[in-house]
Amino acid sequence: MHVTKWVGVAFGAAAMALSASPAAAQTKLPALPKAPAGVTEGIAAVVNDDVVSTVDVRNRAVFILASAGAPITTEAIERARPQAMRTLVDEHLQIQEAKENKITIEEKEVDAALSSIAERNGGSIADLANELGQAGIPISTLRAQIKADIAWRRLVNGRLGSQVRVTDGQVEDTMDRIVASSAKPQMLVSEIILPAETEQERAEARAGAVQLLAQLRETPQEQHEQVFALAARQYSASSTSSTGGDLGWVSAGEIRKELESALENMQPGQMSEPIETENGVHLLELRERRPGVDRRRTTRFNLKQVTAPVSAAPALERVRKRIDGCANAARATGGVNGAKVVDLGDVAQADLSDVMAEAVDKLSQGQTSEVLTIGQTSAVLVVCSRAAEGEGLPTREEIENRLFDQELAMLSQRYLRNLRRESTVITP
């Protein structure tokens, strides 16, 4: 049996879609088209020992269309069935694996999640159930997805979260790359990635991308941002799906060449044609462009300066390698004749003299500069800390959280992929 893979797994896609958009939650959904005469509902798939009914698949297909803002027609439901099937199979696998690991989700937890969604949109669970019911979608469809989402999150966080290690070096390297890139012209980009591994899946991903692109381009301008974000949460396999496909500010060299080439020829507000890479099929939207900024104005240092007479430069050169950060600067240079330690405090790199700015340019926390000659004085700069700040630059905590989420998302996707390979999925 083949279950199409042109849509990705996104934690809580439907729940996030509803909660992220008050306007969408307040809009009455169109009535569900009736099933063709003579069609009986039955078994759509068996996932290990669990049954997925054709009713489940049809309800989920309609829910996918509604949450993405797409028209609900008989033809659209048929196109959404493969995605609905894939999502339901994954949810059954997630629930089964959670049970294997002694994780159970109480109905009151699902009730709490539903209540939170309803309250954020100014209503109650009854209002939410009524709205879904008007489109022929039982609230059990949403309950099932929320239950699987909670179970999978708990399983992944408990089993895989401890495997994720974000080091200070990773954070600093990421920050350095972001700061270096900030000097180049930048583009604010959103993305949707439809994954594909085999040729058949690639063909399905191409067809799905064409359909999705047409729907997004037909969306009224005032609703486009909201609908794109919903589509990214529902369809995209990228780690950015949880943020509505927001890739943030990027510059040349930060993304794949084929994606970069497409963006170079786009204007703000435009969407790309489907772009194929080894990971799948990409849809990009260029939201904004801006020129690069002076990197020295986005980099701040906390510095100490060790000064000594020019005649003491050789001695200062010998001892500077013993300086291990700002804490021992005075002790390490205490034997140098005339040495003094001055706290320069927090300063932007752009506010330093050219000689000092160049000396600390490549230094990290705890490192020291070469011996500098400043007038009649020899000096060594010690970096107590280094940080980047400015418009569009994330904080250290934001970078650390982003790296953690990316690593956990990768492990989660690998975990689910292995479950699919090891499971038995049968269709009549």
Long-range contacts of 96-103 (CB under 8 A, 24+ apart): 96/47, 96/48, 96/50, 97/155, 97/419, 98/151, 98/152, 98/154, 98/155, 101/155, 101/158, 101/159, 103/151, 103/154, 103/155, 103/158
Q: What is the pLDDT of residues 296-324, one digit of tens each?
A: 777 889 999 999 999 989 999 888 888 88
Query: In Å, how far are 36, 77, 298, 337, 360 from 192, measured between CA atoms?
Result: 33, 21, 30, 63, 40
In whole angstroms, give the CA distance from residue 259 to residue 282: 8
Higher pLDDT, 128 or 36: 128
Q: What is the pLDDT of residue 204?
A: 82
Average pLDDT, the chain: 81
Q: What is the pLDDT of residue 107?
A: 92
Biggest distance spanned by C-alpha atoms of the chain? 99
Q: What is the pLDDT of residue 19?
A: 33
| Helix or strand holding residue 416 (H, E) | helix 396-422
DSSP string, 233-269: HHH--SGGGGGTTEEEEEETTSS-HHHHHHHHT--TT
Residue 356 has pLDDT above 70, yes or no: yes
Q: What is the pLDDT of residues 122-178, one digit of tens each?
A: 788 888 888 888 777 888 888 988 999 899 999 999 988 888 889 888 888 887 777
Q: Lowest-pLDDT range, 50-54, 85-89, 184-188, 239-243?
A: 239-243
Domains contained in the chain, CATH given: 13-165 (1.10.4030.10), 184-292 (3.10.50.40), 295-388 (3.10.50.40)
Q: What is the pLDDT of residue 20?
A: 34
In the three-class reduction of DSSP (H, G, I as helix; E, B as strand; rest coil), residue 394 is classed as coil
Alpha helices in 32-167 (DSSP H): 54-67, 74-100, 107-120, 125-134, 139-160
The residue behind tokens 């269709």 is 427
Q: What is the pLDDT of residue 28?
A: 40
Q: What is the pLDDT of residue 390?
A: 61
Give the mean model confidence (pLDDT) for residues 337-359: 90
Residue 84 has pLDDT above 80, yes or no: yes
Q: 320 Cβ partners below 8 Å, 6+ apart? A: 306, 332, 333, 368, 371, 380
Q: What is the pLDDT of residue 309?
A: 92
Residue 189 has pLDDT above 80, yes or no: yes
Find the Cα–Cα–Cα–Cα dihedral 391, 394, 397, 403, rounded to 10°. Answer: 180
Q: What is the pLDDT of residue 9?
A: 28
Q: What is the pLDDT of residue 393?
A: 67
Residue 352 has pLDDT above 70, yes or no: yes
Q: Lowest-pLDDT range, 34-43, 46-55, 281-290, 333-342?
A: 34-43
| Cβ neighbours of 34 (radius 10 Å) | 9
Give the mean model confidence (pLDDT) for residues 201-207: 85
Maximum mean pLDDT: which of 31-40, 226-235, 273-282, 406-415 = 273-282
Higher pLDDT, 147 or 208: 147
Give the mean model confidence (pLDDT) for residues 264-280: 92
Q: What is the pLDDT of residues 6-31, one digit of tens each?
A: 222 222 333 333 333 333 333 343 44
